[in-house]
């Protein structure tokens, strides 16, 4: 990643609050991987699997932890958490051009909207009556902000985001393209002949510093609101059902599906393509590994998995056949144990 920014390593170390070993006058103009960085770029090592790339890196500096320093042939920014420090560095070098404040001529903004003068409203947007949008927010092209929605300061709706009526966003919320926040959840009651729709009267409340990836859907509550707490990060193509409560600083990876009325604690991680059945609770600091299904409440912190590991299909077929026989095998074993005890 290159940028127009050039910054001396000594100043960069100050901004990142890390220790510098090397030439403080060296100028950095961008970021790169250990394998592909060129002189003038900053790289990082956080995964030991890439340690073999250190010796040959052309990066002018590397963010690295103390124990790996001796293997690094170039300038070093020493951090206890290199990946987190790299994230901070990416903020410095990611100089994204912000649109100018104002309303594009093709946008439709209801006269009753409370719009701060610093807000940018892009082409073909629709902002309905009673909406309130805070300072320095960006409503990107093709977005729809429904009736009585409330957006805090510095919100950023990227492209074709849809907020249904009465959705509330805190400060510094970013929502990427084609996400839909506040549609009705999947709620039906079978009356003996057909499924009758349960109309949803709640909405969605999203806290501060939340990021939501592209193509994600978060359903409104039936009576109470669906709640996404401060600091939550949600990846692309995630489905969060009605009346869910997601605790602070939880991370939900791509293609995860969470059924209705699930309560997830603080600092949890839902791995990619994982899922949770409805009406369960997941404690704080639980990590669910990729493609696992949480089928009952989790009451203790820790890492949880389900399913079987990958293997060659021919072997998997034999293993799954044995798996189906486990119950019978267990019953036969109990019978043998009883016979042994009698003898």
* Residue percentage of the chain with pLDDT more than 70: 99
- The confidence band for 310, taking pLDDT boundaries of 50, 70 and 90, is confident
Q: What tens digit of pLDDT does each residue of 110-134 get?
A: 999 999 999 999 999 999 999 999 9
Find the catalytic residue in 94, 199, 242, 279: 242
Active site residue 110: no
The answer to whether the CB of 131 falls within 8 A of the CB of 149 is yes
In terms of residues, how long is the chain?
343
Q: What tens digit of pLDDT does each residue of 212-225 get?
A: 999 999 999 999 99
Whether 261 shows a pLDDT value over 60: the answer reads yes
Round to whole Å and give the CA distance between 166 and 13.
44
pLDDT for 3 equals 58
Q: CB under 8 Å to 95, separation ≥6 — which residues?
A: 3, 4, 5
pLDDT for 322 equals 87
The DSSP secondary-structure symbol of 310 reads: -
Give the predicted TM-score (pTM) of the model: 0.87
Q: What tens digit of pLDDT does each residue of 147-161 get?
A: 999 999 999 999 999
Average pLDDT, integer, range 306-328? 87
């Amino acid at each position: 990643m290159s940028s127009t920014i050039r910054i001396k390593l000594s100043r960069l170390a100050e901004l990142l609050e890390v220790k510098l070993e090397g030439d403080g006058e060296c100028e950095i103009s961008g970021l790169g991987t250990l394998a592909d960085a060129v002189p003038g770029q900053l790289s990082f090592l956080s995964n030991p699997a890439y340690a073999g790339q250190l010796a040959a890196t052309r990066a002018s500096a590397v963010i690295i932890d103390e124990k790996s320093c001796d293997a690094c042939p170039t300038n070093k920014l020493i951090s206890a958490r290199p990946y987190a420090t790299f994230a901070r560095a990416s903020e410095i070098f990611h100089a994204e051009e912000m649109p100018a404040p104002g309303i594009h001529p093709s946008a439709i903004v209801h006269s009753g909207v409370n719009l701060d003068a610093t807000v940018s409203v892009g082409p073909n947007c629709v902002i309905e009556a009673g909406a309130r949008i805070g300072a320095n927010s960006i409503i990107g092209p093709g977005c729809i902000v429904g009736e009585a929605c409330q957006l805090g300061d510095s919100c950023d709706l990227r492209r074709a985001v849809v907020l249904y009526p009465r959705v509330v966003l805190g400060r510094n919320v970013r929502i990427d393209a084609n996400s839909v926040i506040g549609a009705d959840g999947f709620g039906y009651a079978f009356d003996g002949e057909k499924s009758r729709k349960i109309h949803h009267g709640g909405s969605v409340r999203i806290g501060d510093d939340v990021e939501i990836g592209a193509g994600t859907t978060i359903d409104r509550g039936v009576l109470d609101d669906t709640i996404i707490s401060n600091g939550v990060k949600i990846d692309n193509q995630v489905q969060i059902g009605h009346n869910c409560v997601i605790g602070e600083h939880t991370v939900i990876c791509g293609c995860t599906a969470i059924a209705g009325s699930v309560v997830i604690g603080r600092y949890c991680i839902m791995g990619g393509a994982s899922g949770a059945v409805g009406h369960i609770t997941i404690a704080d600091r639980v990590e669910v590994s990729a493609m696992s299904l949480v089928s009952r409440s989790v009451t203790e912190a820790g890492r949880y998995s389900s399913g079987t590991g990958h293997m060659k299909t021919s072997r998997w077929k034999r293993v799954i056949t044995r798996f189906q026989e486990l119950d019978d095998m267990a019953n036969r074993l109990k019978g043998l144990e009883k016979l042994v005890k009698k003898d």
